[in-house]
Structure 1
């Protein structure tokens, strides 16, 4: 597994908890962190000594939506190389447009149960 340091940017505490628990079930060596505010996440990324291997990003959040976050993220030198996975409970037109606009972006619809979260994350992380 190539991703050992994962950042989740998601304002839903329940979804974040399930995500972290699923990562731990997949591999206890995976380090994960959660930020519930996209603006704070950008600030932490700018200041980070060690960057995440991948960012999972909820698209619909207060302060910045996923597209705005990506625009700002990729303006910061050194951060454009971090893979990003849009992680959302919805798959509406805004998300489809973001996936078209940001070529290397992946999309993962939030699964409905814990086993599906594990299976979906394993597929992305392997």
Structure 2
């Protein structure tokens, strides 16, 4: 038996750390609308995410972090990830309802690549996720760093 793993380059891996189960389901449903095939791994808090990142050799293509979670919040996760050389190149999107420009600036200074405010509508979420995933697939998180699409 051959134990070598074949990686499908058409599947995009995303980790989402989000404690709200309803927000997890909406995020999952919105990703299913994209043309890109996404493998989504969900975490209910920052500790679970960090443990998975430290114990699994496979790295996600992108991480979405909610700011307010129990046990370890998104800012703490961001700090840990950015201070770990083996994880530092993973694009991180802060995914939150908060819209405080000073706080967002601080998160960028800590290493966040993008800030996605949780949209008010499902179609806005789909559009925002499509734009973000396609940006990373092009090998850069270029373009607007703060996404707030209202469709």
TM-score, normalised relative to structure 1: 0.89
Matches within 5 A, 1:97-116: 97-99=106-108, 101-103=109-111, 105-116=113-124
CA RMSD of aligned residues (A): 2.0
- Corresponding residue to 2:17 among 9, 23, 29: 9
Q: What does residue 38 of structure 1 align with? A: 46
> 2:15, 2:116 → 1: CA distance?
15
Structure 1 regions of 5+ residues with no counterpart? none
Q: What does residue 57 of structure 1 align with? A: 65
Q: Is the 8 A contact 1:38 1:69 kept in 2?
A: yes
Deviation at 1:96, TM superposition (A): 3.2
- Corresponding residue to 2:105 among 92, 96, 104: 96
Runs of 4 or more above 3 Å deviation: none
Report which of the two structures shows the higher radius of gyration computed on alpha carbons: 2
CA offsets, 1:73-103, max 9 Å, x none? 122231011000000011124333212x134
CA offsets, 1:1-38, max 9 Å, x none? 98700000111111111101111111362111110110
Q: SS at the partner of 2:33?
A: helix
Q: SS at the partner of 2:72?
A: coil
Q: SS at the partner of 2:37?
A: coil
Q: What does residue 81 of structure 2 align with? A: 73
> 1:60, 1:5 → 2: CA distance?
23
> Which protein has greater RCO, CA pairs closer than 8 Å, 6+ apart?
1
